[in-house]
Amino acid sequence: MSPSVIRGIFDVFSLTSILVLLVLGMAIIVGMMKVFNMCQGEFVLLGAGTAYLSYQYFGSVLLGILLAPVVVGFFGLVLERTVIHRFYANPQGALLATFAIGLVIRETVQTRMAAQSSLVPAPISSSVNIGGAVLPIWRIVIMIVTLVLALTIALVLLKTSVGLKIRATLDNPELVASSGISTKWMYAWTYALGAALAGFAGAMIVPLQTLYPNLGYENLIPMFIAVMIGGLGQFAGPIAGAALIAIPGGVLSQFINPVSSQILVLCFAIVFMRFRPMGIFQRGR
């Protein structure tokens, strides 16, 4: 295999793992909690910002990556308790309110940033040579971490009692409440988990790009579509959806320009969803 083919295949997997990592948090908040969280992108942004600040003040990006889920998760917790919980019965309101939150965060970051794009170096910036193709190690790290993280969360949700409580709360809150579990806090912590995952993704990914205010916002629509293709209501769906969007997109980008390929994939996704909405969007649910 020629080096450019190896690199090509590697790029497809790398792009897929990045989208999956970004979508993990959304899988929980939009997929399982069914909250149309338009500020999910800003959680990613905040995580990336944490990595950057940690690099600036403590000299360590790795520390930032570890701090990001904590910081953003806490932020998500506060947000849920103050704003989000008011809109569980009002998806339209949730969409607009979270959009407003995202706008405020984005504009605030924009104002606070001195330069409009800042660089955050990867903890491991070297590359490895495989068959003549030069592959950045950090991208390999992301692939491994994403895989492990996705599997871990799936296992926790399916096999542990915590996971059972979460799924039960989201499926049938009245029953869960009557068995003594505080649904209020279950919701809060689940939302915080979704935020934390997004923050972690942001911190992991920012070394590959730069930190700029629209970092999350630009990925929002593809992320939403990935989640909706996969189907709301369970964790695995959005992951599959992300793969379904990223792989064809990545492959197409090898041959036609990336913007066109993304647009094509999105169009196909929209049409696909129209004919197989999997009963997600009917009113009264």
Partner 1 sequence: MIRLSESNPSIKKEKDKMNKTIRRKNLLKVSGITVGVLALSSTLLVAPSQAAPATGSPIKVGVLTDMTGAFAIVGKSNKAVAQFTIDEINKSGGVLGHKLVMDLADGGSAPDVATQAASRLVNQDHVSMVVGGVASFTRVAVRGVIATRGKTLYVWPASYEGNECTNNVWNTGSAPNQQVDPTVKYLLAQGKKTFFLAGSDYLYPRNILARVRQDVLAGGGSIVGEEYVPLDMTDASNLTSKVVAANADALFEVVVLPGTAPFIKGVVDAGYKGTIAGTLFDEGINPLIGTEAQGLIGVQDYYGPIKDAFSQSEVAKFNAQHPEAKGLFTSTFNAPAWYRSIYLWKAAVEKAGSFDTAKVNKAMDSVSLSKSIGGPVGFAPGTKHLKLSMYLGQSNGDGSETVLKSLGQISPYQCSAATN
Partner 2 sequence: MKRRMRIGIAVVCAVPILSPLLFLSGNDYLIQAVTRIFIYGILVLSVEMCWGQTGIFTFGQAAFFGFGGYFAGYMAKNENITDLGVLLLIALVAGVIAGTLIALFLFSGKRVGELYVALVTLAISYVCEKLANSWTFVGSGNGIPGIPFPTIFGKEISSSIALFFIAFGLFAVSMIICILIIDSQLGLAINAVRDDEERAEFFGYNRSLIQIIIFIFSAVLASIAGALFSLSEGFISPSSLGLTLSTSTVLWVVLGGKGTFYGPMIALAILESVDVEMQKALPSLWRILVGLMLLLTMIFLPKGLMSLGEKSRNKREQKKTT
Residues binding partner 1 (CB under 8 A)? 3-4, 7-8, 11, 14-15, 18, 110-111, 113-119, 121, 125-127, 129, 133-134, 136, 139, 208-210, 212, 218, 253-254, 257-259
* Shortest CB 93 distance to partner 2, Å: 6
* CA proximity to 203, closest of 154, 245, 150, 141: 141
Which CB atom, from 116 or from 178, has the smaller least distance to partner 1? 116
- Among 118, 127, 254, 262, the residue binding partner 2 under the rule CB under 8 A is 262
- Among 4, 108, 152, 209, the residue binding partner 2 under the rule CB under 8 A is 108
Q: Does 115 bind partner 2 (CB under 8 A)?
A: no
Q: Does 114 bind partner 2 (CB under 8 A)?
A: no
Q: Does 36 bind partner 2 (CB under 8 A)?
A: yes
Residue 82: count of CB within 10 angstroms of its CB: 9
Q: Does 280 bind partner 2 (CB under 8 A)?
A: yes
Residues in region 213-232 near partner 2 by CB under 8 A:
221, 224-225, 228
- Among 89, 111, 129, 161, the residue binding partner 2 under the rule CB under 8 A is 111
* Shortest CB 193 distance to partner 1, Å: 27
Q: Does 161 bind partner 2 (CB under 8 A)?
A: no
Place of tokens 């897929």: 16
- Among 83, 137, 168, 236, the residue binding partner 2 under the rule CB under 8 A is 83
Q: Does 278 bind partner 2 (CB under 8 A)?
A: no
Applying CB under 8 A, the residues found at the interface with partner 2 are: 36, 83, 86-87, 90-93, 95-97, 99-101, 103-104, 107-108, 110-111, 221, 224-225, 228, 257, 259-260, 262-263, 266-267, 270-271, 273-274, 277, 280-283
